[in-house]
């Protein structure tokens, strides 16, 4: 009997084959690489040959055998890298693929003889951007030599407008820098008024544009470093989204936030979106339920800009850059303390009772912090705790952000120090929930001049119903009736005596 002839069936693909798409594969054998298209080897190279590998990517895309995304995934690169290889090969061929990315090592970005000019300009107080414009280089090159610019206390602009008697010569106006807190200079014209105040209140911003929808001139002044913040200009319109948040402006101004922020931060450099505009944007975002700067992508910048009195609201990257500059001052706690002092001065009669509570907030930053259960998400995730201190009317007085603690008791020492610094030596009743239960802490609080009001925690004896007495009182305009019992409660082996009221 004849032996059966074996069929010539194709073998399954080896485990060292990377599929680029349906017709292109990358064969890996030891340190050798082979590009196979429709079963034919078209290119081979060694694994350590970076230039040949870059050319293989360019060859597959330029020949139409594969797309950029497919090549990037197969070779473990990004689509941007593949696109960059194509651009280099198109400009300089294989030699361009062998060039290292970035600036050539050892080559100066700025000539040595110009370093003296940079030092002289920086000594005159110019920013990195202004120095770069003078020398005709990029701001990044200046920053790598001298570091980031320190945000100075920059004076506001004043427009000197001659309002003299009529004469044969036409009136001329010029933009000049004035020293801060000098005599006020008024500008009367088509633009917004700018007044340099004589006291320490925030300076009134200015604008030289006439059309509220076109702020080209103000943006040019900011680019030249001659404007610290653009003044709001509003125009007529209807159906403006979110215009109702402007009703909160009197309250925001009355809170003293802008004046206090200007006192602490001074300014965030010459910019169209200055300190006042940045703070106002964040506040109006909160009123419009925009929780994070990234959510601004879902809103029309032109429509939001109309509410701010600008042609456009700041974009996400701009707002994040402003927040980075503000965070560099490390004045957040001091800003909250100043606002709290101002509130105590205005509403001191409501500081007899202070309500303290902690709220867990999800953390989306890059730092490694402990996890906690977030009730809104119904899962455990990195989070921080905001400890709020409210006055008798329930309005916020102070908020302190800290890491997630096991209980409110660990945050109380710091909170009480902040409260004592604000209210002075007066007697204050601290109201809190069971999270702050600690008889040892109660003794410390009473010794420091605080009274406490909280729920009792732990096992205790039942009170007989006959010992309760009915009490009736008028609260918030309504008569209420309770059955109450008042007794003494002792803790810490009798050394701490408190009053317990049971309903």
Q: Would you state the pLDDT for residue 195?
A: 40
Q: Would you state the pLDDT for residue 450?
A: 93
Q: Could you give the angle at which helices 301-308 and 275-287 cross, rounded to 10 degrees? A: 110
CA distance 447 to 222: 56
Closest residue by Cα to residue 215 from 302, 157, 296: 302
Q: Would you state the pLDDT for residue 6?
A: 60
Is residue 461 classed as helix, strand or coil in its secondary structure?
A: coil
Number of CB atoms found within 10 A of residue 466's CB: 6
Give start and end residues of each alpha helix (H) in 171-215: none
Q: For the chain, report the end-to-end CA distance as a whole number of angstroms.
A: 105
Per-residue pLDDT of the chain (503 residues; tens, 9 = 90+): 556 566 554 555 555 888 898 889 998 888 889 999 988 888 889 888 888 899 999 999 988 899 999 999 999 889 989 998 998 888 888 888 876 655 555 555 566 666 777 888 888 888 888 887 777 777 777 877 777 666 544 444 343 333 334 444 443 333 333 343 333 333 333 333 344 443 455 666 778 888 888 898 889 888 888 888 888 998 888 888 889 999 999 988 888 888 888 888 887 878 899 999 999 999 999 999 998 888 999 889 999 999 999 999 999 999 999 998 888 888 888 888 888 888 888 888 888 899 999 888 888 777 788 888 888 778 888 888 888 999 888 888 888 887 665 678 888 888 899 899 888 888 899 999 988 899 999 999 999 999 999 999 888 888 999 999 999 998 888 999 999 999 999 999 889 999 999 99
Please answer whether residues 268 and 322 qualify as being in contact, where contact means their C-beta atoms are separated by less than 8 angstroms.
Answer: yes
CA distance 474 to 446: 30
CA distance 19 to 54: 18
Structure tokens at 199: 């006291």
Q: Would you state the pLDDT for residue 356?
A: 92
Element (H, E) at 45: strand 40-46
Distance of CA 243 to the CA centre of its chain: 23
By CB atoms closer than 10 A (0-12, 13-18, 19+), residue 288 is middle
Write b or e for each residue in 71-103: b if 16 or more Cβ atoms lie within 10 A of its Cβ, otherwise e: bbbbbebeeebbeebbebbeeeeeeebeeeeee
CA distance 62 to 43: 14
Number of CB atoms found within 10 A of residue 261's CB: 21
Q: How many CA atoms does the CB half-sphere of 111 hold within 13 Å? A: 5
Is residue 333 classed as helix, strand or coil in its secondary structure?
A: helix
CA distance 407 to 385: 11
Instruction: Using the structure block, give the residue that is written with the tokens 């990517």.
Output: 57
CA dihedral sign, ordered 104, 107, 111, 115: positive
Q: Would you state the pLDDT for residue 406?
A: 60
Closest residue by Cα to residue 186 from 161, 218, 165: 161
Please answer whether residues 274 and 233 qualify as being in contact, where contact means their C-beta atoms are separated by less than 8 angstroms.
Answer: no
């Amino acid at each position: 009997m004849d032996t059966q002839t074996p069929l010539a069936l194709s073998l399954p693909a080896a485990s060292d084959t990377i599929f680029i798409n349906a017709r292109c594969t990358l064969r890996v054998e030891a340190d050798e690489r082979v590009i196979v298209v429709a079963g034919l080897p078209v290119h081979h190279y060694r694994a350590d040959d970076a230039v040949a590998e870059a050319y293989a990517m360019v060859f597959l895309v330029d020949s139409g055998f594969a797309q950029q995304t497919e090549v990037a995934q197969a070779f473990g690169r990004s689509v941007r890298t593949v696109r960059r290889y194509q651009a280099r090969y198109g400009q300089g061929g294989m030699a361009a693929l062998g060039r290292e990315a970035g600036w050539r090592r050892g080559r100066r970005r700025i000539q040595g003889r110009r370093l003296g000019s940079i030092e002289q300009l920086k000594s005159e107080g110019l920013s990195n951007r202004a120095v770069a414009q003078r020398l005709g280089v990029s701001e990044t090159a200046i920053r790598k030599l001298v570091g980031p610019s320190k945000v100075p206390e920059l004076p506001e602009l004043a427009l000197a407008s001659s309002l003299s008697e009529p004469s044969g010569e036409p009136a001329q106006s010029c933009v000049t820098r004035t020293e801060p807190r000098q005599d006020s200079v008024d500008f009367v014209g088509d633009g917004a008024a700018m007044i340099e105040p004589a006291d320490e209140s925030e300076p009134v911003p200015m604008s030289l544009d006439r059309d509220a929808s076109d702020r080209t001139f103000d943006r040019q002044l900011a680019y030249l470093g001659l404007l610290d913040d653009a003044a709001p200009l509003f125009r007529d319109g209807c159906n403006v989204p979110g215009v109702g948040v402007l009703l909160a402006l009197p309250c925001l101004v009355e809170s003293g936030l802008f004046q206090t922020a200007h006192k602490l931060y001074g300014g965030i450099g010459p910019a169209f979106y200055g300190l006042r505009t940045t703070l106002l944007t964040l506040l109006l975002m909160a009123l419009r339920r925009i929780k994070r700067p990234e959510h601004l992508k879902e809103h029309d910048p032109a429509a939001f800009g109309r509410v701010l009195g600008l042609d456009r609201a700041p974009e996400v990257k701009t707002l994040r850059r402003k927040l980075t500059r503000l965070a560099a001052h490390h004045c957040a706690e001091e800003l909250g303390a100043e606002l709290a002092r101002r509130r105590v001065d205005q509403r001191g009669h409501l500081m007899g009772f202070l309500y303290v509570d902690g709220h867990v907030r999800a953390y989306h930053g890059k730092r490694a912090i402990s996890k906690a259960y977030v009730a809104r998400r119904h899962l455990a995730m990195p989070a921080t705790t905001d400890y709020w201190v409210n006055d008798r009317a329930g309005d916020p007085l102070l908020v302190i952000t800290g890491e997630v603690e096991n209980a409110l008791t660990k945050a109380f020492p710091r909170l009480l120090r902040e409260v004592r610094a604000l209210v002075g030596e007066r007697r204050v009743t601290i109201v809190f929930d069971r999270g702050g239960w600690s008889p040892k802490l109660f003794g410390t609080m009473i010794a420091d001049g605080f009274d406490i009001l909280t729920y009792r925690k732990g096992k205790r004896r039942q009170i007989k119903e006959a010992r309760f007495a009915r009490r009736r009182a008028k609260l918030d305009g309504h008569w209420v009736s309770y059955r109450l019992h008042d007794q003494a409660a002792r803790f810490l082996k009798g050394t701490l005596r408190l009053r317990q009221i049971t309903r």
